[in-house]
Amino acid sequence: MKWVLLAALCLAACRSGATPHDLATQRVHQGLTRGYDASNAVGPATLQVRYNPAPCECPPYEVFAYGGWTRTFVEPATAELDALRGGEPLSVITVTATIDLRKRAAENGVMYAVLAVP
pLDDT digits (tens, 9 = 90+) for 11-24: 555 555 778 888 88
Question: Distance between CA 107 and CA 24 in Å, rounded?
Answer: 30
Residue 1 pLDDT > 70: no
pLDDT at position 104: 84
Indicate yes or no: pTM above 0.75. no
Residue 4 pLDDT > 70: no
Distances 51 to 37, 47, 80, 87 between C-alpha atoms, Å: 26, 13, 11, 9
pLDDT digits (tens, 9 = 90+) for 27-78: 877 877 777 667 656 667 788 888 888 888 888 888 887 788 888 888 877 7
Which among 86, 15, 11 is positioned nearest to 53, based on CA atoms?
A: 86
pLDDT at position 43: 66
Question: Distance between CA 105 and CA 72 in Å, rounded?
Answer: 10
